[in-house]
């Protein structure tokens, strides 16, 4: 949670400060209600096969655009995400 007028680069997270706990609770409740009302599927874990399929479509699209440097960065991020999942993060 950031004060974008004073911290546009989102360096200082205010979520841990006591004076913002009420706002944090309200914001979390609004988000949770939206997730339920919109039937956001993001609250359910995605299978590895689905994740791999989605990422393949995205990576292939970037390759087709000639964005090879970006694809390498993207593949590194995918590897990191899989590592975090394996670590339970």
DSSP string, 14-83: -TTSGGGHHHHHHHHHHHHHHHHHTT-GGGSPPPHHHHHHHHHHHHHHHHHTT-HHHHHHHHHHHHHHHH
Average pLDDT over residues 47-63: 93
pLDDT band at 88 (very low <50, low <70, confident <90, very high): confident
Q: What is the pLDDT of residue 89?
A: 82
Q: What is the pLDDT of residues 5-32, one digit of tens each?
A: 999 999 999 999 999 999 999 999 999 9
Query: What pLDDT was estimated at residue 76?
Result: 95
State mean pLDDT over 76-89: 91
- Which tokens is 4 given? 């974008």
pLDDT for the residue numbered 41: 84
Model confidence, pTM: 0.51
Residue 12 three-state SS? coil
């Amino acid at each position: 949670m950031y004060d974008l007028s004073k911290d546009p680069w989102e360096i200082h997270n205010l979520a841990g400060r006591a004076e913002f706990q009420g706002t944090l609770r309200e914001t979390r409740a609004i988000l949770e209600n939206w997730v339920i009302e919109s039937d956001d599927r993001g609250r359910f874990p995605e299978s590895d096969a689905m994740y791999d399929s989605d990422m393949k479509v995205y990576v292939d699209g970037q390759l087709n655009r000639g964005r090879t440097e970006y694809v390498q960065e993207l593949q590194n991020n995918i590897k990191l995400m899989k590592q975090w999942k394996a670590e339970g993060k």
